[in-house]
A and B are shown apart, each in its own frame.
Chain A
Amino acid sequence: MKRLSLVKMKESGKGKVAEISGGSALANRMMSMGIYKGREITKLSHFALRGPVAIKVGRSTFALGHGVAAKILIDVDTE
């Protein structure tokens, strides 16, 4: 198990949300969209040059700005 930010995670990788840093406002907003501690997510893509990250959570797809993505830590299984 390895913990890294959504930005560092590799594309099409799966993992569980470990922590959302950066204040309760962001965490609450993510929470209401279904992104919360323990939730499984799949990273779809990542745009270069500090671009946005796309993730799949349940049946929803979200685009997250680079700044948001950097604040989300993910537990990823290491093989």
Chain B
Amino acid sequence: MIKKIYLIGNPNVGKSVVFSRLTGVKVISSNYPGTTVGITKGYLSLGEEKIEVVDLPGTYSLEPTSKAEEVAVSLLNELPKQEIVIINIIDSTNLERNLFLTLQLIEEGYPVIACLNMCDDTAHRGIYINTEELEKILQVPVISTCAVTGAGIKFLIGRLKEAHIQERNKSSHEERWKEIGRIIEAAQKLTHKHHNLRELLEDASVRPLSGLLMSIIVVYASFKIVRFLGEFLITKICDPVFLNFYQPLLLRLNSALGEKSLLSHVLIGDLINGQIDFKQSFGVLTTAPYIEFAMVLPYIFSFYLVLSILEDIGYLPRLAMLLDNLLHKLGLHGFAIIPVLLGFGCNVPGILATRVLESRRERFITSTLISIGIPCVPLQAMIFGLLGAFGGFYVFGVYGVLFSLIIIIGVILNRTLKGYSPEFLLEIPPYRFPQPLILAQKLYYRIKGFIFEAVPIVLLGVLFINVLMYVKAFDFVTGIFAPVIQGLFGLPKEAVVALIIGFLRKDVAVGLLGPLDLTAKQLFIAATLLAVSFPCIATFIVLLQELGLKDLVKAALIMVAVTIAVGTILNFVIIH
């Protein structure tokens, strides 16, 4: 009787794709080690029974080296070995290295079934695996699968019950590698293949000169595509829909509500020259949906499309290697670039992804740097939307300030925090062609996440702000902070509201700056401060969960200090 099924395997062998195939639960998969940092659970129907399936973070061995791996290994011993089945996912294109974990699992007495994944990728690499021979040697069921297309998954399910506990002597690591050598000799044949274009590109991307050149092209092209696609969606689709279809409806609603009524104030907001201005009116039905659907959503779409393609191709670990040197100066190593890149979409998944980093110190530095220096897509989209009107110079200015802050704070943290920078040791995956279906699912999953999490908060937030403004509740708070805001930062005192709302959501906060008629310099300072000051509440909760209270307080103090310093310096250094 099987009570639980665990999926375990080396990093980046496609565990999450197999998991999706078995359970129907959609999870994010990418082509780099460490996509899964948490535990995902789902159910597989096997006849009448429903069995829990657990997708574990990737690990090279049963001796954990990071927090994510520790979790994976400890979970395996929750239930007695007789009641579980372990599906060991193996990358067919790299059988030799993967067998180390397989043998370890068998020796430890787990009931194992081996799943040779990515079997479609072997033939053109000149790899031929004799699964029957392998099955005979290992004494466990061996099934070839290609999870991205679903091939072989049925056979895998059909043979689950054949998994059984074996009595095997435990061997030393050296002996195990010798045994693997013999197994490979017997069960795998390699034919020599000439280097193809893909392999040439794979190697070029990890060489200093060609790698740097490639990274500049990739990063520049990605930025351009995100910007172009985002703008295209806004001007060609979102704006026309809002202006031509939605606005007339709202105007009719407004006259029905009666101008100057509380309802009109809350739902529609202020009319600018007798017209609804979606960027300034600030009503629950006007600016709130406009911000989310016509300013932010197009960029969410274009950003995640480009990021997902880069992830699935397998480019990101190469970028990590190129940036290793720079990141060492900040007390991190190359791999920290992956949480940082995810943080550009939304800080929450970025901070969660820091779990793949080995030490607590690295996780603290990375999380703090993400919270301060990495603006999420909603914030960036709003900065493009509002500050972009004054010229690209200011927009680049914000990025310039943020980038300098990351370097400065990183170097200071690295010098002052106890501990050392850990070593960089990362597997560079082969390039893979992104599977359109997997890509579309991932994009859908991420956009859905945005809509369901962000939109309700934005609508409620705007409602809340409008009611408070109507009863003039903010006057008290603006009065208290006026000296700092006006005296140090050179902003009108109403900007306090925006900075406070920034704690709720950054896009709404920038939206609040719209109606204030700020000068370019003021908007530049306010936008930069929104980026560096406290992250939004969702990020705060994850920070608390990942860092603990003590480190969160430490990070928060750094944020307050940085906010005050940056605001003051920018105000007094920029004259115009």
Contacts and interface: CB of A to CB of B under 8 A. Distances in A.
B171 interface: no
A46 B206 CA distance: 9
A28 B61 CA distance: 9
A54 interface: yes
Given A63-B334, A65-B425, 16 more contacts: A26-B423, A32-B63, A33-B60, A33-B97, A33-B427, A37-B174, A44-B206, A46-B208, A50-B328, A52-B321, A58-B97, A61-B427, A63-B320, A64-B425, A67-B423, A67-B424
Contact of B428 (A46, A48, A54, A58): A54
Interface of A: 25-26, 28-34, 36-37, 39, 44-52, 54, 57-65, 67-68
Contacts of A46: 208
Interface of B: 60-61, 63, 65, 93-94, 96-97, 100-101, 173-174, 177, 202-203, 206-208, 211, 317, 320-322, 324-325, 328, 333-334, 423-428, 430
B426 A63 contact: yes
Most buried by B among A25, A29, A50, A68: A29
Contacts of B322: 47
A61 B206 contact: yes
B96 A65 contact: no
A44 B322 CA distance: 14
A contact patch SS: mixed
Nearest to A32: B61
Contacts of B328: 50, 65
Given A44-B206, A54-B428, A36 B324 contact: no
A58 B96 contact: yes
A21 to B, nearest CB: 13
Report which residue of A30, A45, A64 has the largest number of chain B beta carbons within 10 angstroms of its beta carbon: A45
Contacts of A44: 203, 206-207
A61 B202 contact: yes
A62 B97 contact: no
A65 to B, nearest CB: 3
Contact of B207 (A30, A33, A45, A59): A45
A48 B206 CA distance: 13
A64 B63 contact: no
Contacts of B427: 33, 60-63
Contacts of B321: 47, 52, 54, 63
Contact of B96 (A31, A34, A37, A68): A34
24 contacts: A26-B423, A31-B177, A32-B61, A32-B100, A32-B101, A33-B60, A34-B96, A34-B97, A37-B174, A47-B208, A47-B325, A50-B325, A52-B321, A52-B324, A52-B424, A59-B93, A59-B97, A61-B427, A62-B427, A63-B317, A63-B320, A63-B425, A64-B425, A67-B423
